[in-house]
Structure 1
């Protein structure tokens, strides 16, 4: 049985879960606008292990949400995951953040899901998945306007989920578009994706793995 710690820190939701063969046995998470990851992440790991009645010696792998998302959030999650892998001699699994988000929804045939994470101004990070949750358009950063995702308007339903859904809803008027504005990435959906990678021995190089930032980090400075 594969016991995996799943870490999700790509957005404001600090989330930790323990899964056994892809099934959740414990979850600890908190979504606050102030990014509590640096204070809460290791506490949540400890609490999730206690709730599952596991110790670190029981764990077989560490999975981390790889991005895109918050630069700082991703750094915290990946640093924690690497530290655990090095200290416990465990393999590292990376799970694409938007793929994990897409799996929050149950979609029917001839429907698609577009997870969108809020970026600056009218920009989002997005990816497109079909009704089998296969990626049919790569992840990219894009400016949202009235023509965004128009190529997919022929599907029965287009589900747009995530923190960027609100700005999408402001400009997209297709009747078959549905918006889920309160959704955030969670370690809950990472469980089955991490298990699939574990079975395939699809592991990252712990020493060289870096988060998928998608865009370069820009330091904001005050004007004098």
Structure 2
């Protein structure tokens, strides 16, 4: 089972959109995929209209999480809770231990974790549990700041927690015909040149069906599988998990 965190320390970069559509793409490819919403703003949970009695809050704070895992993972999502920020002293390996349980490991091929754009105990848990990190970013000044912050965070994780995470950068809402996007693509590529962050060749073009499908609460790949957004997310997913063709 592979665990992938989506994170950027800047908002407005399509982080939740990316987590959702990477998970949907993995399912299109035939992989059993679990989504986890660790963002206290609950964007992913709201988009999927998921209403679970047992949320990430109960699961992460439980002394016996194994007893409630099956209730938490119904509909292939562990939902968020607005009080998740109260778990500010959470052990960094709490989530990893939960995901190592047979109730999850024996069922799922992939786990995709969505996070808020701040570094806290939840974000740390997500990173410590994951094999890969996907950093969605826009090709602009705010995107540059976010990626710069992410390089510092990865250095901190490596230094303090002795963990190297396989990290990938994904451009979202990208228009290759825009000079500014192209310039910042070059700038960001140079920024990560001497880091362990790799740039995915695929970028996500601006696509109205992405926004429309979310507004309607439907799967992008069912709503408009021929749209640029669906094609791009599918190709980015294949690249991320190293499937050719």
TM-score category of the 2 structures, normalised to the smaller one: 0.3 to 0.5
Report the structure, 1 or 2, having the larger strand content. 1
Report the structure, 1 or 2, having the larger helix content. 2
TM-score norm. by structure 1 comes to 0.35
TM-score norm. by structure 2 comes to 0.32
